[in-house]
């Protein structure tokens, strides 16, 4: 695994990591990122995105692919739809519940979600991934070459696309949870520790999908 830092890379340069690996003979280069490490409730999600070399010219025409946190919700959903409807882009999703997060910790749960996303992508497309591009400082327990890239979610096309898919898929699930646990308004804050969410926890207590190992919830039990 390699770890690199990247700064001030233009949108045009976001495809350079994939191009470099294709030149080295890798065929199935997959970008991976997560969403939901920080919330007090709900699962952590991971997305995995693959663009084949022959398809990249068309796939990269999708506009506004960047770190999902830098996109407003409406725009993020728009880019998400562009991604999943694009026949040149293959993707997978993985989620790990709050119960498993509490059992194995959030770092290990995030890695597990990423592995699930890779397996989901492979199963849906009948392929075997041969290189992983990971955001941050991650190393997955998979027998495949890997490279971690600090701020990769804003610098590498496939990682950025994965961050958008992971975020939207997780948000959709939290909106479903809102119907069951309406007193917490999950559809608004998606489980993050906002002032409103903390106030509702204080008023109603915790529910089934709150992460019992996270502060301040662990202090309330």
Instruction: State the number of CA atoms in the 13 A half-sphere of 169 facing the CB.
Output: 25
Q: Report yes or no on 52 lying in a domain.
A: yes
The domain of 170 spans 9-220
Cβ 160 vs Cβ 59: under 8 Å: no
Quick check: is 179 in a domain? yes
User: Model pTM?
Assistant: 0.92
- With respect to residue 197, please indicate whether it lies within any of the assigned structural domains: yes
The torsion angles phi and psi of 147, rounded to 5 degrees, stand at -145, 125
Q: 35 in a domain, yes or no?
A: yes
Contact 196, 185 (CB under 8 A): yes
- For residue 143, what is the domain's CATH number? 3.30.420.10
Round to the nearest angstrom and report the end-to-end CA distance of the chain. Answer: 40
How many other C-beta atoms can be found within 10 angstroms of the C-beta atom of residue 147? 19
Report the pLDDT value the prediction gives residue 7, as an integer from 0 to 100. 41
Domains identified in the chain, total number: 1
In a domain, 210, yes or no: yes
Query: How far, in Å, are 95, 109, 115, 122, 142 from residue 119 at the CA level?
Result: 12, 15, 6, 5, 10
Extended strands (E) in 39-156: 44-51, 89-96, 131-135, 145-150
Cα(108)–Cα(96) distance, integer angstroms: 10
Q: Is residue 3 part of a domain?
A: no
141 CB contacts (<8 Å, ≥6 apart)?
111, 115
Give the pLDDT of residue 9.
53
Q: What is the pLDDT along the chain (221 residues), one digit of tens a residue?
A: 544 333 445 556 788 899 999 999 999 999 999 999 999 999 999 999 999 888 777 666 677 787 677 888 899 999 999 999 988 899 999 999 999 999 999 999 999 999 999 999 999 999 999 999 999 999 999 999 999 999 888 889 999 999 999 999 999 999 999 999 999 999 999 999 999 999 999 999 999 999 999 999 999 87
Q: Where are the beta strands (DSSP E) in 119-160?
A: 131-135, 145-150
Asked whether residue 4 is assigned to any structural domain, the reply reads no
């Amino acid at each position: 695994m390699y770890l690199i830092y990247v700064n001030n890379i233009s949108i045009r340069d976001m495809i350079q990591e994939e191009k470099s690996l294709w030149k080295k003979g890798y065929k199935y280069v997959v970008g991976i990122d997560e969403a939901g490490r920080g919330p007090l409730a709900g699962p952590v999600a991971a997305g995995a995105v693959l663009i084949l070399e022959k398809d990249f010219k068309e796939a990269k025409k999708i506009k506004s692919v960047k770190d999902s946190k830098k996109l407003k919700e409406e725009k993020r959903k728009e880019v998400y739809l562009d991604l999943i409807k694009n026949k040149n882009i293959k993707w997978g999703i993985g989620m790990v519940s709050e119960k498993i997060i509490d059992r194995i910790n959030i770092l290990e749960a995030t890695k597990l979600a990423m592995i699930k996303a890779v397996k989901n992508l492979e199963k849906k497309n009948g392929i075997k991934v041969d290189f992983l591009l990971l955001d941050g400082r991650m190393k997955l327990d998979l027998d495949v070459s890997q490279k971690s890239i600090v701020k990769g979610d804003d610098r590498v096309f496939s990682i950025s696309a994965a961050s958008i898919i992971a975020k939207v898929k997780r948000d959709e699930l939290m909106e479903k949870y809102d119907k069951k646990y309406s007193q917490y308004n999950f559809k608004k804050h998606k489980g993050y520790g906002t002032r409103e969410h903390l106030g509702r926890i204080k008023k109603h207590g915790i529910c089934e999908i709150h992460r019992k190992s996270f502060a301040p919830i662990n202090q309330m039990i």
